[in-house]
Amino acid sequence: MATGNSVEIVGGADSKFEAVDSEIKDRDASPVDDSGRVVSQKRQSLSNIFTIFATGFALISDGYQNNLMTMVNVLLKKEYPKEYTTTVSTRVSNALLVGEVIGQVVVGLTCDYLGRKFAIIATTLMIVIGGILATASHGVTIDGMFWMLTVSRGIVGFGAGGEYPASSTSASESANELTPKHRGPAFIMVTNFPLSFGGPFAVSIFLIVLMACNESHYSTVWRVCFGIGCIWPLSIFYFRIRMINSTLYRRGAIKKHVPYLLVLRYYWKSLIGTCGAWFLYDFVTFPNGVFSGTIISSVVTNGTVRQTAEWQLLLGAIALPGVFLGAFLCDRVGRKNVMMIGFSGYLVFGLIIGCAYKKITKIIPLFIIFYGLMQSSGNFGPGNMLGLLSSESYATGVRGTCYGISAAVGKAGAAIGTQAFQPIENNLGKHWTFIIAAICGVVGVAVTYFFVPDLSGEDLSIRDEKFRAYLVSKGWDGAMGEDDLRADADQGIPDEIAESAVTKGD
């Protein structure tokens, strides 16, 4: 095997990786961006900072879009009691999910092949275009209007789904370059926190618009709410145009001859873990989010839309502390352990609500508290850890693809859960939706324990070198990186490191 420029290797496996990493950095001292300009360390650091903050602000808009239908479903049911049937409601709600599944897979591949920046700009435009069309939804008949709304929400979903792999991988790589020791908490605070905050944020905007319309003019309310959703991605569009792909990406991208079979052989166990756990998490959390307004309105006897929204706002607020607690404990307790604790919360609170549903719904504040705690445990564990683990488990060259596949399987679970939610309520009873959540919690613990990797917070470049060594050991002779930071696969990797990667695997 060719080893390229010689480098002295001393110490254990980690020191070997560090030596190779140092050699590559020295060799690539003057990188350039996609426009051919030399990238200084200061400019790269500034781009990383803006990328992290822009990611957080963008994902607020995704959280807003994900949760907007919670109250809009209640509103449309009151405005169109005959036309807005269960079938139509499910179709409109699922349109976003179907779009997200497609967007996560397509943009996941795109951000690996064409770069994080290209993918992020494309997803921003899709969210804005879909939001404008949703605001202007119209038809010759009411049913025609709902079909336009369905298609528009699908376009929004494509953009919002694409944000998961594009923005999250960018945030993880940028945080790794800025603050590697605190990458986990930093990643959570700019990904899952904005997504979770989108719930109470969407309800707050809804309440403001509803009060401005004197709790009437329902068509104006939901159209304005959809229109406001276009503002957030547009507000950071400039910063996204100015961003630079991370150094990790420019060194580790595989743009030709991606060895997908070897990727699958190397990461099969991790993929089962992240895909399976994400499916279970979204199967529970998404329908319970989308239909929580409907659940609350059925519990609040003779309640108004405003009262339902106020209880919904409290529910969303109770769910937020789990995000902060999970971020605080992810390095101290371990990512895998935190995720299992979170899934256990589904078991505890799901059984409490499900088994005592008739009694607990008579005391609305108590019901909201336990409902909020169940959602908070989801944010604490899988909500926080799935994105983090999916961004850390895979090498840079396939990070977007594997992240997108994991998130897409999760959204498939959300679509199935949303489709099955109301039939479960109608045929088994409302309490069974919470009992099934408890069952998913048990399965989630098992999937996490057996398949999810127990990661620390090591530098992502080390995992890139391990993956590259594995590919070389299997005969792959492609190239990694963009022109400015290109490293042939068989350069700079001593035999000892390749053997270590093959022996230890992932």
Kindly indicate the confidence band of residue 3, based on its pLDDT and cuts at 50, 70 and 90: very low
pLDDT at residue 228 tops 80:
yes
State what percent of residues in the chain have pLDDT above 70: 86
8 Å CB contact between 395 and 472: no
Average pLDDT value for residue range 38-42? 62
Predicted pLDDT at 45: 77
pLDDT, tens digit (0-9, with 9 covering 90-100), for 469-499: 899 888 888 888 776 566 665 554 544 544 5
Q: What is the pLDDT of residues 347-395, one digit of tens each?
A: 999 999 999 988 988 888 898 899 999 999 999 999 999 999 999 999 9
Q: What is the CATH number of domain 22-504?
A: 1.20.1250.20
The radius of gyration of the chain from alpha carbons, rounded to an integer in Å, stands at 23
Give the residues across from 427 on adjacent strands: none
> In this structure, what is the dihedral angle of CA atoms 477, 481, 484, 487, given to the nearest 10 degrees?
-40
- DSSP per residue, 92-136: HHHHHHHHHHHHHHHHHHHHHHT-HHHHHHHHHHHHHHHHHHHHT
Residue type, 3: T
Give the containing element (helix H, strand E) for 467. helix 460-473
Q: Are 209 and 76 in contact (CB under 8 A)?
A: no
pLDDT computed for residue 490 by the predictor:
52
Local structure of 480: helix, strand or coil: strand
Structure tokens at 111: 């951000």
Residue 4: predicted pLDDT: 38
pLDDT at 224 over 90: yes
DSSP 11: S
Predicted confidence band at 46 (pLDDT cuts at 50, 70, 90)?
A: confident
Most confident of 38-42, 133-137, 178-182: 133-137
Mean local confidence (pLDDT), 448-476:
88
Query: How much is the average pLDDT of 132-141?
Result: 90
pLDDT at 90 > cutoff 50: yes
pTM: 0.81
- The pLDDT, as a whole number, for residue 483 is 64
Q: What is the per-residue pLDDT for 450? A: 96
Which one has a higher pLDDT value, 103 or 491?
103
- List the single range of 136-140, 204-208, 232-236, 268-272 with lowest mean pLDDT: 232-236
What single-letter DSSP state applies at residue 257? S
Angle at 150 between CA 145 and CA 153, to 5 degrees: 120
Longest CA–CA separation in the chain, Å: 77
pLDDT score, position 17: 46
Q: How confident is the model at residue 40 (pLDDT cuts 50, 70, 90)?
A: low
Structure confidence by residue, pLDDT tens digits, 7-34: 333 344 444 444 444 444 444 444 555 5
